[in-house]
Amino acid sequence: MLILRLRPNKRKHPNKTYSVVVAEKARSVSKKFHEKLGSYNPYTKELQIKADRVQYYVDLNIEISKTLLNILKKNDIIKK
């Protein structure tokens, strides 16, 4: 089963950023994922994402993590 989720990049606390990825739900995202869809910086609230690919996975009824779902709704990428 696939899920859209945030993957932490290898940075320390003050500049920590995240990648938006499609990964297996049962597997750790730090090891392996299917596709990288974008990035998110929580400090500047900057979201760079491939909206067409996100919509493709939403149309396939792929599960989205709660945190990522809130970010996508706030930036009007998806409407649920």
CATH number at residue 33: 3.30.1320.10
The number of distinct structural domains making up the chain is: 1
For residue 21, being part of any structural domain is answered with yes
pLDDT, the chain, mean: 90
Largest Cα–Cα distance in the chain? Answer: 36
pTM over cut 0.75: yes
Sign of CA dihedral 45, 31, 2, 59: positive
For residue 12, being part of any structural domain is answered with yes
For residue 79, being part of any structural domain is answered with no
Q: What is the pLDDT of residues 57-69, one digit of tens each?
A: 999 999 999 999 9
Its domain, for residue 15, covers: 2-74
For residue 25, being part of any structural domain is answered with yes
Query: How does DSSP assign 31-47, residue by residue?
Result: T--SEEEEEEETTTTEE
For residue 67, being part of any structural domain is answered with yes
For residue 80, being part of any structural domain is answered with no
pLDDT recorded at residue 30: 74
For residue 23, being part of any structural domain is answered with yes
